[in-house]
Structure 1
Amino acid sequence: MTITIVDHQLPDETHNRYDVIFFAHQIATLVTHSPSHATSWLNELPPPPLLVGLDVEWRPNTANSDHPIATIQLCTAASGSSSTCLIFQILHAPHVPQQLIDFLENPAHTFVGVGIEEDAEKLLGDYGLRVGNAVDLRSLAPKELKYAGLKTLVKEVIGKEVEKPKSVSRSRWDYRWLVPSQVQYACLDAFLSFEIGRSLTTTASAPPAAAATT
């Protein structure tokens, strides 16, 4: 499976950059708890409307705990054909930048993910953040994939295999410094949501094939 990550190892306590490689795709990824760096990332995006893969992670809950969201992951198309991802460590941020609040609320953008309604509800409950236009990928997929998870959708829609190890999915997302395996996992959840959404919306909007003539 051709999935790797390159750590740029920036000498900065506020942010780091990675390149996550998923087969032929290279996703430029910013990990930060800095509102100003998150704002700069948002300011570099193309104008709306945008299709955006959205996902969140938090420390696994127990019977006696309900932990808040630790990271918000956003992935969309950058200038040209490349993809860009933001992993915003909201749990450690001094505040949520207004640009991010406005970006999430903007109904011109379409935010896609598997179970995205639940993520949107938790964002609202934990931080008062509203997602203006959230679309579950399963509502765009064929009927037989109505209850599919992200791993199955990746295989059926994109034709690739991806692993989602529990050792990473249930790791300590509340740590201030994420390890590369967490960055790769978080980035890919948002990126693959974006790619599936792009594929399904392109298919849905394609004109029907012309009838054969004799």
Structure 2
Amino acid sequence: MASPITIQELDISSETHSTYTVQINTNAIHTTVTSTPSVVDSFINELLYTHRSSLNRLVIGLDVEWRPSFNRNIENHVATLQLCVGHKCLIFQFLYMPHVPQSLINFLNNPMYKFVGVGIQEDVEKLLLDYNLGVANILDLRSLAMGKGFGHLRNSGLKDLAREIVGLVIEKPKRITMSRWDYEWLSYEQISYACVDAFVSFAIGNRLIWEI
């Protein structure tokens, strides 16, 4: 049975961002959705301050989403970037931003931080192609799992890794995976999906790197 997931929009009036609590099992993830560079600045500054004593151990779940194309000659740009550390998640909507925040460029390019995900190489290549945005230090969760004795997971997706390594049973409905990520107003299901992917990536990476 899938781990229960709920989402609650927080009653905070803002023209620059929306905030939610996404709950998966006992994990309550504070999630910020924005296209405003100053909100990204604040998120990153708060993150670095919170973890200031252990930045050399910082693991970040990273994922991206874009509108699927059914024409082989058309490749849509990345619509959202998800970053998650602990129970804090950012969903940044590239398609509606005025510019890429310098804080995000610096954060992604810091080789001290470890960005983790499944198929993260392809995601990072697309960020570079679409927005000239580089990520300095990436680790694929499948390779990490193999290095820790989970050789049978070498070709696994996030669902199998989540179940075996952190005990979370997640669903990845195709109708959400293939949905319109280019919409300015994402649905609750899209926000939950994007948040959970990034959070689970963080949880798996943190466990494989520092706990096993």
**What is the TM-score when the length of structure 2 is the normalising length?**
0.91
Q: CA deviation at 1:9?
A: 4.7
Bigger Cα displacement from structure 2, 11-20 vs 150-159:
11-20
Asked if the contact 1:51/1:111 (under 8 Å) is kept, the reply is yes
- 2:81 alignment counterpart: 72
Alignment match of 1:123 (pick from 127, 132, 157): 127
- 1:89 alignment counterpart: 93
C-alpha distance in structure 2 between counterparts of 1:171 and 1:30, whole Å: 20
Query: Percent identity among equivalent residues?
Result: 52
Larger Rg: 1
- 2:10 alignment counterpart: 8
C-alpha distance in structure 2 between counterparts of 1:11 and 1:29, whole Å: 15
Asked if the contact 1:5/1:18 (under 8 Å) is kept, the reply is yes
1:136 aligned onto 2:145:
no
C-alpha distance in structure 1 between counterparts of 2:211 and 2:20, whole Å: 31
Asked if the contact 1:9/1:16 (under 8 Å) is kept, the reply is no
- 1:150 alignment counterpart: 158
Q: Which runs of 5+ in 1 are unaligned?
A: 78-82, 205-214
C-alpha distance in structure 2 between counterparts of 1:149 and 1:37, whole Å: 31
Tell me which amino acid in the other structure corresponds to 1:5: I
Asked if the contact 1:158/1:196 (under 8 Å) is kept, the reply is yes
C-alpha distance in structure 2 between counterparts of 1:193 and 1:164, whole Å: 14
C-alpha distance in structure 2 between counterparts of 1:107 and 1:53, whole Å: 15
Instruction: Name the SS of the counterpart of 1:17 in structure 2.
Output: strand
Instruction: Name the SS of the counterpart of 1:190 in structure 2.
Output: helix
More helix by share: 2
1:186 aligned onto 2:184:
no
Residue correspondences, number: 199
C-alpha distance in structure 2 between counterparts of 1:188 and 1:165, whole Å: 13
- C-alpha RMSD over aligned residues: 1.1
- 2:36 alignment counterpart: 34
Q: Which runs of 5+ in 2 are unaligned?
A: none
C-alpha distance in structure 1 between counterparts of 2:208 and 2:94, whole Å: 30
Instruction: After TM superposition, list the pairs within 5 Å mapping 1:49-68 onto structure 2.
Output: 49=56, 50-63=58-71, 64-68=73-77
Asked if the contact 1:5/1:19 (under 8 Å) is kept, the reply is yes
C-alpha distance in structure 2 between counterparts of 1:13 and 1:128, whole Å: 28
C-alpha distance in structure 2 between counterparts of 1:67 and 1:167, whole Å: 18
Tell me which amino acid in the other structure corresponds to 2:144: L
**What is the TM-score when the length of structure 1 is the normalising length?**
0.90
